[in-house]
C-alpha cells in the first residue's frame, strides 16, 4: 500500500514543477503520508543560514508571515541543514542541541503556533542555493522518529530531482520574463505561439491589435485571423514543421481597410523567448517601419538571442547580399561570415537563406 502512495506522491511532485497548481496536491499527500500537520517547500542561502517558504500546506498563514519576518534567522534547523548531506534528514529534537527547548525559536515560534516537532530534509544544493522540505506535527502528536525518516526515504531522491528541475525552470522563466519585457520596446507586434496557435507571450503592440480587432483575435487564448484562418493555420504548420520549418507571409486587414503584412516564422529552442515552453514554437511578427535596418537588428537580438555581429551579418543577408558581399561590407573573411551565419540559422531555426531574407525583410519594412 505504501508503494502505491509513494508512487502517487512522486508523480504529483514532478507534475507540480510543470504546473504550479499541483503543489498543494503533492504537498497535502506528503503531509498525510507523513502524519504531519503541515509541509513547507523551502529554498535558502547557505551563507545567510536562513530560508524562504515557497509553497506550504497545513500551516496557519500568520505562522508563515512570522517565520519570514523574524524566525527564519533563528531557526536552528537551518544551520543543521546547511551542513547536512543532500538527502539527509534533520530532526529538531535530535539534531538541534540540548538548548533547543530553551531557545527563542522554540518558545516564541514553535509553542506559539502549537507545534510539537519538525524535521526537514536537504533536497538539492547548488552553490549558495539550498532547497529543502520541512514537515511539522502539531502539539500532542509524537515526535518524528527514525522510523518516520525510513518510511519517507524512498520519496527523497525524487523530491530532490523535482527541486533541481524547479530551480532550472525558475531560471528559464526569469530569462523568458526579461526577454518578454524587452518585446514591449520592439516597436511592432510580436506573439510567441505553440503549434496550435496558443499565445505564450505577447507584447503591448500585439495585445492592442487583438483587443481592437485589427485583423487578429484571441479565441480561448489562441491567436486567430479575423478572416482566412486556413492561411494562418498553414503558415503556423510550416513554421513549426520538424521536417524543415520555414517562414510565411500573411496579410491582415485592419478596420480602416489597410492591408498589414505579418510574418509567421519558426522560433528555435535557442531563442531566449522559449523558456520552459513546449516546443516547437513560432513567432508571429507585425512589420516595423525602419528601412535603415536598425529595427531588424534589434529584433534579431531580442527574439533569437543573436550577438551584435550575428545580427549585422543577418541584416545584410536580408538585403540580398551574398556571404562574400557581407564579408566585404564588414571587413571580415568569408569564413568568419559563414560561421556567423551558421550560428544565425541554428538560433533562428531557419534552414534556407531565402527564409532568412524573408525574416529580416519582415523586420525591416512596413509594407510588403
Q: CA–CA distance from 332 to each of 41, 59, 267, 340 (Å)?
A: 53, 64, 28, 11
**DSSP code for 263:** E
Give residue 242's pLDDT.
78
- Residue 292 banded pLDDT, cuts 50, 70, 90: very low
Instruction: Quote the pLDDT of residue 179.
Output: 62
Model confidence over 82-102: pLDDT tens digits? 888 999 999 999 998 889 999
Reported as a single tens digit per residue, the pLDDT across 42-59 is: 988 877 767 788 889 999
Mean of pLDDT over the chain = 83
pTM of the model: 0.53
Answer with the residue of higher pLDDT: 41 or 367.
Answer: 41
The average pLDDT across 332-357 equals 87
Mean pLDDT of 286-297: 55
* Cα dist from 121 to 111, 213, 230, 326, whole Å: 22, 53, 54, 58
**Pairwise CA distance, residues 151 & 136, whole Å:** 16
In the chain, the domains with their CATH numbers are: 2-172 (3.30.450.80), 184-364 (1.10.10.10)
Could you tell me if 306 and 344 are in contact, meaning their C-beta atoms sit under 8 angstroms apart? yes
For the ranges 217-221, 256-260, 261-265, 332-336, which has the lowest average pLDDT? Answer: 256-260
Using DSSP's 3-state secondary structure scheme, residue 97 falls into coil
- Say what the pLDDT of residue 262 is: 81
**According to the model, what pLDDT value does residue 367 have?**
35
Average pLDDT over residues 307-319: 88
Q: Which residue has the cell 523535482?
A: 162
C-beta of residue 129 within 8 angstroms of C-beta of residue 45: yes
367: burial class by Cβ within 10 Å (0-12, 13-18, 19+)?
exposed
The pLDDT score that the predictor gives to residue 353 is: 85
Instruction: Name, of 257-271, 301-315, 352-366, the range with top average pLDDT.
Output: 301-315
Q: State pLDDT tens for residues 136-181.
A: 999 999 999 999 999 999 999 999 999 988 887 777 666 656 666 6
Listed residue (174, 222, 186) closest to 297, CA to CA:
186
Amino acid at each position: 500500500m505504501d508503494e502505491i502512495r509513494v508512487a502517487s506522491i512522486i508523480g504529483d511532485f514532478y507534475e507540480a514543477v510543470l504546473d504550479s497548481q499541483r503543489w498543494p496536491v503533492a504537498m497535502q499527500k506528503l503531509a498525510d503520508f507523513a502524519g504531519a500537520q503541515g509541509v513547507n517547500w523551502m529554498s535558502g542561502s547557505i551563507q545567510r543560514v536562513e530560508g524562504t517558504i515557497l509553497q506550504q500546506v497545513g500551516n496557519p498563514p500568520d505562522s508563515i508571515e512570522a517565520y519570514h519576518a523574524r524566525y527564519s534567522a533563528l531557526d536552528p534547523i537551518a544551520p543543521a541543514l546547511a551542513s547536512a548531506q543532500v538527502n539527509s534528514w534533520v530532526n529538531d529534537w535530535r539534531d538541534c542541541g540540548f538548548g533547543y527547548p530553551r531557545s527563542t525559536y522554540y518558545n516564541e515560534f514553535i509553542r506559539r503556533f502549537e507545534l510539537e516537532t519538525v524535521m526537514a530534509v536537504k533536497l538539492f544544493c547548488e552553490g549558495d542555493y539550498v532547497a529543502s522540505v520541512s514537515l511539522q506535527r502539531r502539539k500532542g502528536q509524537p515526535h518524528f522518529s527514525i522510523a518516520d525518516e525510513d518510511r519517507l526515504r524512498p520519496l527523497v531522491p525524487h523530491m530532490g530531482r523535482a527541486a533541481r528541475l524547479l530551480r532550472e525552470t525558475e531560471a528559464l522563466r526569469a530569462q523568458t520574463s526579461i526577454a518578454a519585457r524587452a518585446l514591449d520596446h520592439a516597436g511592432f507586434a510580436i506573439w510567441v505561439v505553440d503549434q496550435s496557435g496558443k499565445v505564450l507571450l505577447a507584447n503591448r503592440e500585439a495585445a492592442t491589435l487583438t483587443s481592437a480587432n485589427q485583423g487578429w483575435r484571441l479565441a480561448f487564448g489562441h491567436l486567430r485571423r479575423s478572416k482566412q484562418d486556413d492561411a494562418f493555420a498553414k503558415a503556423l504548420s510550416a513554421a513549426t514543421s520538424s521536417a524543415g520549418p520555414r517562414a510565411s507571409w500573411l496579410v491582415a486587414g485592419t478596420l480602416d481597410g489597410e492591408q498589414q503584412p505579418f510574418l509567421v516564422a519558426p522560433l528555435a529552442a535557442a531563442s531566449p523567448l522559449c523558456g520552459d515552453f513546449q516546443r516547437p514554437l513560432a513567432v508571429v511578427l507585425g512589420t516595423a517601419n525602419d528601412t535603415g535596418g536598425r529595427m531588424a537588428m534589434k529584433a534579431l537580438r531580442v527574439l533569437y538571442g543573436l550577438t551584435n555581429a550575428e545580427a549585422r551579418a543577418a541584416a545584410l543577408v536580408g538585403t540580398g547580399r551574398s556571404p562574400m558581399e557581407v564579408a566585404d561590407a564588414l571587413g571580415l573573411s568569408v569564413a568568419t561570415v559563414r560561421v556567423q551565419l551558421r550560428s544565425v540559422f541554428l538560433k533562428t531555426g531557419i534552414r534556407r537563406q531565402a527564409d532568412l531574407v524573408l525574416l529580416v525583410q519582415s523586420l525591416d519594412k512596413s509594407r510588403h
